[in-house]
Amino acid sequence: MLKNRLIPVIIVKGDLIVQSFNFKRFLPIGKMKTAIEFFVNWDVDEIIILDIDATKQERAPQLEVIKCASKECFVPLTVGGGIRSVESIKDVLRAGADKISINSYAVENPQFVTDAAIRFGNQCITVSVDTMKVSNDYNVFIRNGKIDTGIKVADWARKLERLGAGEILINSVERDGSREGYDLELLNLISSNVNIPVVACGGVGNMRHLANGIIKGNCQGVAAANIFQHTEHSTIAAKAMMNKLGAQVRLSSDVKYEDFDFDHLGRPV
């Protein structure tokens, strides 16, 4: 059985890592190298780096940032932000990424998803989908959550699978930074409409929320950003909580929390 993945998301704005709140407010918290070193030593399955300025500024990904990150990273590395051509994908992979993530440009040019999957293999292509609820349904938003495309998210997820996407990263803009937990209705909507892996993102406030993304949201992976920045051994504690609640996760760290109790935030006590 394939293990469920725990994936920290590193949000980059300029040359700093930031926390995001509803895609509107950003709190600087540190440098890339420090975060990568922390995560790879504490039992994560993958790391996602998202450059949120790249699309807005209509520029390519920062290859030097990716190269520096990949030197410290010993787990699969996914990079997103500003990828709009096959050449850009080649550059990002050569810089050390294992997978790429496309968001707004997939909506603007769906054929690009197919072209990328044919050229590099669909296992290399993640499509990140930002969504908000509009009139009791979920619409796809692009450009950092600023533009409502009017596309229904379930329709878009099915189309992405047909286009050749290997995985969908589904992010609730409304839950981003809220600490309220994943939108489980949204996760089940996506996971029930596709046969490719779905990774949840947006809203984690405690370690139990991560387990819920797997057990109640039926996702194959769970991703989060803010929660991992402020708690010591946060990713190991997350894995222990997920395992305790029944999610199938890889436990490889020498630090063991499986026999601990957990407080209301999911921290071992």
Identify the pLDDT of residue 23: 65
Q: For the segment 12-27, what is each residue's pLDDT rounded down to a tens digit?
A: 887 778 777 766 677 7
Of 30-39, 43-52, 188-197, 232-241, highest mean pLDDT = 188-197
pLDDT at 264 over 60: no
Domains recognised in the chain with CATH numbers: 5-244 (3.20.20.70)
Identify the pLDDT of residue 1: 61
Identify the pLDDT of residue 216: 98
Tell which residue, 70, 19, 14, 17, has the closest CA to residue 47: 70
Between 224 and 25, the more confident residue is: 224
Q: For the segment 85-96, what is each residue's pLDDT rounded down to a tens digit?
A: 999 999 999 999
**Global confidence as pTM:** 0.91
Identify the pLDDT of residue 67: 93
- Residue 61: which pLDDT band, with cuts at 50, 70 and 90? confident
Distance CA 3, CA 250 (A): 6
- CA torsion 197-202-208-213 (nearest 10°) is -20
Residue 79 three-state SS = strand
Q: For the segment 106-131, what is each residue's pLDDT rounded down to a tens digit?
A: 999 999 999 999 999 999 999 999 99
User: Is residue 104 within 8 Å of 143, Cβ to Cβ?
Assistant: yes
Indicate the residue type of 241: M
Catalytic residues, which ones? Answer: 130
pLDDT at 151 over 70: yes
Identify the pLDDT of residue 227: 86
User: Is residue 5 within 8 Å of 43, Cβ to Cβ?
Assistant: no
Between 198 and 19, the more confident residue is: 198
Q: What is the chain's mean pLDDT, rounded?
A: 89
Identify the pLDDT of residue 231: 64
User: Is residue 4 within 8 Å of 249, Cβ to Cβ?
Assistant: yes
pLDDT at 165 over 60: yes
